[in-house]
Amino acid sequence: MRLVLAFLLLAASILRADTLSDLKTALGGLDGRDPVKARVEVGSVVRDGEALKEDHAAAAVAALVEDGPQGLTITWDRALLQTAAAESQAKSKDPNQSTRTGNSMDELKPTALSDYLNAPATVLRVLELARLVDEKEAAWEGRPARLLTFKLTPPLSEKDKKIIKEAEMTARLWLGADGLPVALETQFHAKGRALLVISFETTQKEEFRFSLTGRRLVVTRHVQEIQSSGGGQNGVKRSLVTLHLL
C-alpha cells in the first residue's frame, strides 16, 4: 500500500513538473514581435475613512498604445492633456483641488503598458516565486480549461521584513486548450507592526485576463484591489484597466 501511495505521489509530481515545463516553453515561444495596437482604458476608485466613502481621486481615461519594431508609443488625446494641465494649474493655486485626470493617466506608466502588451513576463514572474500545490480540470467561462493553484513566496525587501510579521501569497492560473494562460488571479495578505505600536493589515488582489494575437499574449483586463487598515484608519483602492485590440 505504501509503495502504491509513493508511486502515485511521484507520478503526480512528474505530471506537475511537465505541466510547468510545457507552460514555460509555450510562453517562451511567444516572442512578442508581431506589431500590436490597442486602446487602453483605466479608472480607479479610492475610499477611505470609517465609512469608506468614495473619494473622487481619479477619472476614467484612455490612451492609444502601439508596440512594434520601433518600440512602444503612447498617444494621449489633446483635450485630455489640456484637462490634466488645467487641473494641475488649479491645484497649484488651491491645494484642495483634485487632479483626477492626471492621477488616472499616471496609472498607465510605460512599463505597465509594456507588460500588458507582453503578458508572458507577468506570468513568468509569478511562476518564479511559486510552488504548484494543485492541478485539475476546470471550465473557464464555459470552455475547457486546466486550473493550476500555487503558493508563492512573497517578495519582501529588507525594510518590509522588519515590520511584516505574517505574509502569505497564493495564485490561480487557468490554461486554455492550447496550454496558454487565459486568466490569472493572485492574492497577497500581510500583517505587521510599524513604529512598534501601530498594527496594520493589508490585502491585495489582482485579476488578469489574457488574449492571444499573433505571437503575442496580451492582457485584456486587469483589476487590482488593495484593502488596508492600521492606526485606526482603513481604506480601499480599486483600479480597472481594459485593453481593446485594434
> Could you tell me which residues come within 8 angstroms of residue 241 by beta carbon, excluding any fewer than 6 positions away?
40, 41, 42, 107, 108, 116, 219, 221, 222, 223
Q: Is residue 36 one of the residues assigned to a domain?
A: no
Q: Is residue 188 one of the residues assigned to a domain?
A: yes
> Residue 175: which domain range?
2-31+41-61+119-245
pLDDT in tens, 78-103: 998 898 889 888 888 888 877 888 88
Query: Grid coordinates representing 153?
Result: 513566496
Q: Is residue 102 one of the residues assigned to a domain?
A: no
The mean pLDDT of the chain is 82
pLDDT of 56: 46
Integer distance in angstroms from the first to the last C-alpha of the chain?
A: 58
pLDDT in tens, 28-71: 888 778 899 999 998 776 655 544 444 444 568 899 999 988 88
Q: Is residue 128 one of the residues assigned to a domain?
A: yes
Dist CA 159 CA 220 (whole Å):
34
Q: Is residue 190 one of the residues assigned to a domain?
A: yes
For residue 239, which of 40, 85, 36 has the smallest C-alpha distance? 40
SS3 state at 57: coil
Kindly tell me if the per-residue pLDDT of 4 is higher than 50. Answer: no
SS3 state at 165: strand
Q: Supply φ then ψ for residue 79, to 5 degrees.
A: -65, -35
Q: Domains in the chain: how many in total?
A: 1
pTM for this predicted structure:
0.83
pLDDT in tens, 144-199: 999 999 998 888 788 877 777 888 889 999 999 888 999 999 998 888 877 767 78
Q: Is residue 6 one of the residues assigned to a domain?
A: yes
DSSP state letters, 9-23:
HHHHHHHHHHHHHHH
Q: Is residue 107 one of the residues assigned to a domain?
A: no
For residue 112, which of 46, 44, 181 has the smallest C-alpha distance? 44
For residue 63, which of 75, 71, 78 has the smallest C-alpha distance? 75
